[in-house]
Structure 1
Amino acid sequence: MVLTGKQKRYLRGLGSLEPVTVQIGKGGVTPTVIQQLDETLEARELVKVRVLKNCLEEKEDIARRLAEGTGAELVQMIGHNLLFYRPAQKPQIQLPG
């Protein structure tokens, strides 16, 4: 799935209102974190992830591993926040064409 610029802008607008749902700390990206993000994506489609300051991994590596592990698309990376999108089995978010 590849999002267009227009779709990413739309999702970033929605994401600004989203609370942080998943946090990554000192342990970094673990199978448990990937599973938690996967389940949250299925329920919500758009998920904000915060990388805590005590995390030793690079944000870019974290974003890549989470996207690969869940099949989600990285929509935005600002500071310590990452925004991921993956359509659910029954999509709730209608993306613009």
Structure 2
Amino acid sequence: MSSEPAAVEVKILDKEFMIACPPEEKAGLIEAADYLSSKMREIRSSGKVIGTDRIAIMAALNITHEMLQNRSIDNPNNEKTLERIQKISQQIDLFMDEVE
């Protein structure tokens, strides 16, 4: 039985976002946002990509690449990894909507 979504505040690349999610997924959402933010910080600190939207796209591509590499490996945690990546992808979509 799913609970009603609650607003969760996450911080991605020094910007705060309120995102609705079921209470049982709050920890996963925060972890996904932290992971996305760390990937975006890595890209920003390289100095090769300028602009938040471009940084977000590069982070999405890098995370997707990681997912595809993990998918091809016989990994007993593959299902959990895919779920985590899907959540991260959703967060990227939400972030991109905010940026636009």
TM more than 0.5: no
Greater fraction helix: 2
Greater fraction strand: 1
> Under a length normalisation based on structure 1, what TM-score does the superposition of the two structures give?
0.29
Higher relative contact order (CA 8 A, sep 6+): 1
Larger Rg: 2
